[in-house]
Structure 1
Amino acid sequence: VSLTIKFQALSDSWSTSFAIVISLIDNSKERIIHSYEQFTYLSSQDCKIKFNIYLLYLTRPKDLTKNYAIHIDFYEKFSLMYRGSLLYPIKFSFLPVQRLAYMVIIPQRNEKFQSCSNSHCIHGKCIVYYNTLQNNTFCQCHPGWSGRYCTIPYTCTCSSDSICIGVSAYNRSICICPINKFGYRCLIPNTICQMNNNNLTCQNGGQCIPIDEHMSSSNKKFSCICPKGYSGDRCEIIDNKITLTFEEDIV
């Protein structure tokens, strides 16, 4: 599957860093994740980027008795809070190659994801996809469980300070890392932002974010979320401002 996708965050999330996981899944009882991609996204810097992603089926040729879909999860990178999920069914699965393009709006912070009641979600909870008119649902499994109804156990190998959101077809845990860790199990420390104590990264109270390898076309290792009144790559520039005062006796 060749996927071109562009994301847009609304004003409340313009400066929020997200972990986005895009998975190719099927509708079998196992709900197999055939392949996936994960990256960090910051709308204030990455809103113009079109992501070109290639997702592979587990077998070639693929099993035509199954239906396939693109499943997308959003998590806030600093708090690891879950924001919601989208579903894009893949039509015409008999075609050898699919080329898909989507423009995706990230759900607002106050737009709570909808839960649902489904007693079939044994070791998980029922979640409503926020982009489907039919209010399609899925079982969001607890760590260590997978499958359509979260009945298949597996061993989560993610670090203790990360979130385990599933397991791939090759029995590899899918982990959402905290901002200061990386690696497929979130075991490798990323110390670039710890240099901030010496003002070597972000200045004037800016928030340091390690650069995602998907975004980097240079040797830049971090980016900064600047507080109000500052700008620049390291928040080193004081923004221009105009202060208006009026005489008290003006009628």
Structure 2
Amino acid sequence: MPFEWYLEYEIQKNRPGLLGDVSSLLGMLSINIITINGVDDSRRGLLLKCESNDQVRRLESILKTMDHITVTKLRVPKLRDRLAVRHGRYIQRDADDKKTFRFVRDELGLLVDFMAELYKQDGHKLIGIRGMPRVGKTESIVASSVCANKKWLFVSSTLLKQTIRSQLIADEYSEDNVFIIDGIVSTRRGSEQHLQLVREIMRLSATKVVEHPDIFVQNTEYTLDDFDYIIEIRNDPDEEITYKDVEEPQMLFDSSSLSGFDF
């Protein structure tokens, strides 16, 4: 059975023929290159496939003798490694909270790819998304559902019209669905029947995505520890995500808001 490995090295001196030397070495060791790409500044990432892990150990020992590169990663590929090779950059991860990942709006392609890979994983998964209005939260959730070939279902939302579901039909309880919950709408506008539906969905072995998770946990029995991933989307890296405009419930929906429907 073939083994997959991820190799990343930092280029100390980008001389002509350096990539050719590395590729030739891999060929001599009968290690196949699946994908190769530049990753961030002065680094190169490769997804490799080999028949034996002994080949990788031999590769590692030889690479250590090469003056113009420094191996930074040689490991079984993680999701972040695969995406880094695919997009040429690493997803930014919070230094203190390892389950929090940060994106800016011009990285929505990378974000959609990342979320689609999460959706493809079986079982319960709770994902929270933080971001200011019109930064692309809901659109990213829907686009990643399409990429993962999953059906998405709005439990609560304001994307087109305020949606607050209080019940689902039988086939909507499918564990293949992606359930989308707006934490502000559910907790500030949802009836007890709606909140009971949210609890039922939370118990499903399926993917749930909650927009505005901080507001959601303030007004429900859930905590941020219940979330498997927290995704933050900003218009620019320095943007502060705040909820000052929704601190008072009456500020959420003014008289010009579209009326909700409950079914």
Report which of the two structures shows the higher radius of gyration computed on alpha carbons: 2
Q: TM-score, normalised by structure 1?
A: 0.24
Higher relative contact order (CA 8 A, sep 6+): 2
Structure having the larger proportion of residues in strand: 1
**Per residue, is there more helix in 1 or in 2?**
2
